[in-house]
Amino acid sequence: MKIVLITGISGSGKSVALRLLEDSGYTCVDNLPVKFLHEFIATVREENLDRVAVAIDIRSPGELAGLPDIITGLRAQGTELKVIFLDASDHALMQRYSESRRRHPLTDRLQRKGDSPSLLECIHTERELLAPLRDQEHVIDTSDLTPGQLRAWMRDLIQAGRAEVVLTFASFAYKRGVPADADLVFDVRCLPNPHYDRELRPLTGRDEPVAAWLAQFGSVETMIEDIGGFIRRWLPLYLQDTRNYLTIAIGCTGGQHRSVYVVEQLARRFADHAPLLVRHRNLPVRP
């Protein structure tokens, strides 16, 4: 039996993630109170359901403090439980609430006499309440993701299976901000930039002409070797840690050429590690 628990900040894309799981054959339950999680899992076992997804969030705030201990206890009992925490920047959340015109779930709970809390106050309070859970689970920063990208990343993640560490290489654009879900960040903006070649500008680091152009520079190869060597050296200690995920983010200015190429090359060098995921935050998802 595989159980996926979706949680995170309101407006970060939990509904999109849950619908993807439902389309993938998971039996899904949204807004399950924390106190019913044990009972629900027991019922799932009795019904012989092999794939189940549950969404738990701030809509039941009084019980969230005990959720980390419940998760630890379930795993200690041998339950295969994958917890995915969705997050987004304040700016992205404010924009999404503005577009949807929805009220934040904490608005009524934080209501003061004659004064309504601001949206930003609600978001910051929610972050404080969810911080203990975020700090120990796999985080996906959806600030810069389209719904299609989030669905693709979720699909890759649920297919990854169980391992000591799910290793993820991710490219990103510094001009759009460093991903909040990154564990290790490497800056490759010092490398030669294909952007200044008119023929290469519309291409990406996944295209052969860009790859061939970058491969001719010794500095590019040295950078890849140095990053790969660092990861090879320290990965065994991460494997001994209690974490289940390690995300290595590679950034360049636009997230299109250099960082994408470096990520693709690192993924080839670490192809012996399973499961291995590759993400390009600022490129469209390939069909």
- Considering the domain architecture, whether residues 124 and 203 belong to the same structural domain is answered as no
Burial 28-57 (b: 16+ CB within 10 A, else e): bbbebebeebeeebeebeeeeeebbbbbbb
Please, which residues bridge with residue 276 across strands?
A: 167
- Considering the domain architecture, whether residues 25 and 139 belong to the same structural domain is answered as yes
Residue 231's pLDDT is what? 94
- Considering the domain architecture, whether residues 177 and 81 belong to the same structural domain is answered as no
Cis peptide before 179 (omega within 30 of 0): no
Q: Give the orientation angle of helix 218-240 with respect to helix 258-269, to 10 degrees.
A: 50
- Considering the domain architecture, whether residues 17 and 44 belong to the same structural domain is answered as yes
Residue 163's pLDDT is what? 47
Strands 27-29 and 51-55, sheet pairing: parallel
Binding site, residues? Answer: 8-15, 57-60
- Considering the domain architecture, whether residues 12 and 124 belong to the same structural domain is answered as yes
Residue 159's pLDDT is what? 74
Is residue 285 a part of any domain in this protein? no
- Considering the domain architecture, whether residues 80 and 214 belong to the same structural domain is answered as no
Strands 184-187 and 166-173, sheet pairing: unpaired
Query: Domain tally for the chain?
Result: 2
Query: Residue 65 and residue 58: Cα distance in Å, rounded?
Result: 11
Binding site for GTP, residues? Answer: 57-60
Give the CATH number for residue 47. 3.40.50.300
Residue 99's pLDDT is what? 87
Which two structure tokens, joined as six digits, stand for 49?
Answer: 């359901």
Binding site for ATP, residues? Answer: 8-15
Which two structure tokens, joined as six digits, stand for 282?
Answer: 């600022």
- Considering the domain architecture, whether residues 117 and 171 belong to the same structural domain is answered as no
Query: Residue 189 and residue 194: Cα distance in Å, rounded?
Result: 11
User: Which residue, 124, 141, 159, sits at the end of a domain?
Assistant: 159
Structural domain harbouring 242 = 166-280
- Considering the domain architecture, whether residues 90 and 140 belong to the same structural domain is answered as yes
Is residue 19 a part of any domain in this protein? yes
Residue 226's pLDDT is what? 97
Residue 87's pLDDT is what? 94
User: Which residue, 135, 159, 183, sits at the end of a domain?
Assistant: 159
Q: Give the orientation angle of helix 208-215 with respect to helix 258-269, to 10 degrees.
A: 80
3-state SS assignment for residue 77: coil
- Considering the domain architecture, whether residues 98 and 192 belong to the same structural domain is answered as no
User: Which residue, 140, 159, 178, sits at the end of a domain?
Assistant: 159
Is residue 286 a part of any domain in this protein? no
Quickly tell me which residue has 């669905």 as its tokens: 151
Residue 149's pLDDT is what? 87
pLDDT digits (tens, 9 = 90+) for 190-229: 999 999 999 999 999 999 999 999 999 999 999 999 999 9
Low-confidence ranges of the chain (pLDDT < 70): 60-62, 113-114, 136, 160-164, 240-244, 286-287
In what helix (H) or strand (E) does residue 92 lie, and over which residues does it extend? helix 90-100
- Considering the domain architecture, whether residues 50 and 99 belong to the same structural domain is answered as yes
- Considering the domain architecture, whether residues 55 and 191 belong to the same structural domain is answered as no
- Considering the domain architecture, whether residues 153 and 80 belong to the same structural domain is answered as yes
